Chains A and B, each alone.
Chain A
Amino acid sequence: MSSLVLILLTGIGLGALYFLVASGLSLIYGLMHVLNFAHGAFLTLSAFVGWQVAQALGTGSWGSFLASILVGAVVGAVFATVTELVLIRPLYERHIEQVLVTVGLSFAAVALFEGIWGTDAINISGPVWLRGTTEVLGAKIPNTYWVLMVAAAIVLAALVLFLRKTRYGMIIRAGVENRAMVTALGIDVRRSFTLVFAIGGAAAGIGGVLAMHYSTFVSAHLGSTLLIFAFIVTVIGGLGSLAGAAIASVLVAVLQQFANFYLDGTGDFIVVALLAVVLLVRPRGLLGRAA
């Protein structure tokens, strides 16, 4: 029983991390049809800068932890906005080239991060509580998972509120639904492109700082590993669907943890197998619209 609870809760926690990365990817793809390979680079840069901030403020305190998350979100948002304005916008409507540019950016960024912060993973430390565990129904859950869950829940709630209640959120939803119509109604959709990139970058930034605490180290390749799982999650959830991304990230992560525990560490394969099954049975993903 206790191992079941452990797997379930750590699965949800890991899913929360996937969601933080995948939510931005899914929104960006839904609105702009851009597969953003540079998302991993946003995440990694935020993690490094967040780490630097935490180092400067003293790693043990909650204040520095929160500050590093905040700074991570801002760094991710700024990096993403600049990327959109400088690299994506000039290639408007040329989807393949847009993908290629983000590939080039992630390629260059990882090399640059290695140049600045070294090729080795840097061990990090945070508030002492994060290293501890909390007992739930006899299962000892590492505390980082709770933080991940809370962060993802806040991001999800904020995103839903933003998309449902604000004017820009409405434009974005309408743009995902039918971009030509929104443009025809005289609304500049391109402004919401930048906005979506900024939001996605901020979510990835939060995810980056938390991923660093989750894996207790930061390296230039932190983002690329997570990015692949985020891709899988967005495809399974249905490209462009935020709810699909949320459901799929929890599903994928719980399944992964189960396989890692009961099937001798085969979690990664189970996830890819799940992807293959979803593609064979339902190519548009769980909540994706028919193409």
Chain B
Amino acid sequence: MTLTTGIPTLVRGRKGAYLPFIAGGALVVLMAVLPLLNISLPGILPGATYTPGTLALLSLCMVFAALALSYNLLLGTAGMLSFGHALYFGAGAYGLGIALKYLGVPLWPGIFIALLGGLAIALVTGAVAMRVSGIPFAMVTLAFAQAGSVLVRRNQQVTGGEEGMRLPVAQVPEWLVGVVNTRNLYWFTLVVVVLVYLIVLWVDRSRLGHLAEAARENELRVRVLGLRPYVAKLIVFLVAAGCASLAGIAYMLLQSGTQPSAVGADLTITVLVMVVLGGVGFRWGAIVGGVLYTLLDQRLTVLARSEWISDLPDVLRIPLSEPLFLLGVLFILVVMFLPGGIAGTIDGAVRRRRGERTRAQLARLDDAEQAAPEQVEVRA
């Protein structure tokens, strides 16, 4: 395993030690005032930053950034390759819809119920799936997500089946409904993504996070030390699932509805692509990956419909008009030639300039250590 996490440890007194914190704070402030400004980024955003279309796209970016952050906690910190993470995103989205529609509760208790529902599902599925680890764990989580997807598609009277579920707007406060209030929804998603970031940061810094990380590197050693990696990993799994549910709730409010694809394996794979693209183990990488993927998906879809592509011969036209094909190829290229993703590559470059060891070198040291007992095993 060559996954490594980065915790930007605060080295007091070093030049630029506070820079990440200042930059992060400044970014949040900038994002918060964006709806009040008139900035145009032609080619990237569909319009000026105060227009509802642009705000909706940016909000979607933030929803996926939050989801990618939660997945990064799972894959980057705890080293668990799950293919069922979308289940908890979908549980948040559908849970909110069901709570509002069938229990008739107002929005805030509804969010609480959806969150609890997502956590309950995560507790049951996670506890069973963690009976195995590594690749079998990936397969089992995939099977659970598939069961969730089938459940949603089958029970048409509850979830709306293939057509998806509309958000019952009657119980939602007026300031969060409609195109006019996209700005408020935008701020709501910003709060969600900041909240998820803080939760993830807190877990990464806590003893729990360190234990999960240690278990990722060498589970046997952790158990020999008398610690219980299973519980730590399960709690990290639950936190990640809770954050995903929160992202799902924001998605439901933002889109004022959800489709069964929000539960399926395809969404998990999309999140995996985001996280790997951004750089596994880097929180800011997950955010960059989530935002970049969403923007690329949106812009490539626009590009696919453009005239100069429809004039091309079939051999070029068909691949270029499929955004997911291009993103899939980009993903393969990143995995093969840019193993750290965007964040890992930049981080490596910065560390080399400072004369520190890069994470890849550190990982290689770990591998060398791990190789030793394996050889013993062969001889025996």
Contacts and interface: CB of A to CB of B under 8 A. Distances in A.
Interface stretch (A74-82, A160-168, A230-238): A230-238
B131 A280 contact: yes
Contacts of A265: 154
Interface string B255-270: 0000000000100010
The secondary-structure label for the interface of chain B is helix
B331 A107 contact: yes
Interface in B296-314: none
A104 B322 contact: no
Interface string A92-134: 0011110111011101111110111000000000000000000
A184 interface: yes
B89 interface: no
Contact of B318 (A97, A107, A112): A112
B319 A228 contact: no
Contact of B147 (A104, A231, A234, A272): A272
Which of B81, B135, B142: most chain A Cβ within 10 A? B135
B322 A228 contact: no
A280 B136 CA distance: 13
B249 interface: no
Interface in A229-279: 231-232, 234-235, 239, 265, 268-269, 271-272, 275-276, 279
Interface stretch (B43-51, B100-108, B332-340, B346-354): B332-340
Given A268-B147, A280-B128, A35 B135 contact: yes
Given A90-B336, A99-B81, A272-B146, A29 B135 contact: yes
Nearest to B134: A95
B321 A104 contact: no
Given A97-B335, A100-B276, A112-B325, A235 B318 contact: no
Given A99-B81, A268-B147, A279 B140 contact: yes
A170 to B, nearest CB: 20
Interface string A134-178: 000000000000000000000000000000000000000000001
Nearest to A234: B139
A66 interface: no
A232 B139 contact: yes
A115 B325 contact: yes
A111 B378 contact: no
B329 A103 contact: no
A104 B146 contact: no
A57 interface: no
Interface in A36-75: none
Contacts of B136: 235, 239, 283
Contact of A97 (B129, B140, B339): B339
Interface in B75-118: 81
Contacts of B140: 235, 275, 279
B11 interface: no
Q: Is the interface on chain B under 10, 10 to 19, 20 to 34, or 35 or more residues?
A: 35 or more
Contact of A107 (B128, B138, B328): B328
Given A104-B273, A107-B269, A110-B324, A279 B131 contact: yes
Given A115-B322, A279-B129, A181 B378 contact: yes
Contact of A115 (B129, B321, B332, B335): B321
Nearest to A34: B135
A178 to B, nearest CB: 8
A224 B265 contact: yes
A103 B332 CA distance: 9
B3 interface: yes
Contacts of A115: 318-319, 321-322, 325
A181 B375 CA distance: 11
Contact of A87 (B135, B154, B336): B336
Contacts of B276: 100
A33 interface: yes
B336 A101 contact: yes
B265 to A, nearest CB: 7
B251 interface: no
Nearest to B130: A279
A187 interface: no
Which of A95, A108, A116, A239: most chain B Cβ within 10 A? A108
A91 interface: yes
A269 B152 CA distance: 12
B142 A269 contact: no
Contact of A180 (B151, B323, B329, B378): B378
B2 interface: yes
B128 A276 contact: yes
Q: Which 8 A-B pairs have the closest CB atoms?
A: A108-B328, A111-B324, A107-B328, A111-B325, A104-B332, A104-B331, A272-B147, A115-B318
20 contacts: A35-B135, A96-B1, A96-B2, A96-B3, A104-B328, A107-B327, A108-B328, A115-B325, A180-B374, A180-B378, A228-B142, A232-B139, A235-B132, A239-B135, A265-B154, A268-B147, A279-B128, A279-B129, A279-B132, A283-B131
Given A99-B135, A109-B328, 17 more contacts: A29-B135, A35-B139, A95-B134, A97-B2, A99-B81, A107-B273, A107-B328, A107-B331, A180-B378, A184-B378, A228-B146, A269-B151, A275-B140, A276-B128, A279-B131, A280-B131, A283-B131
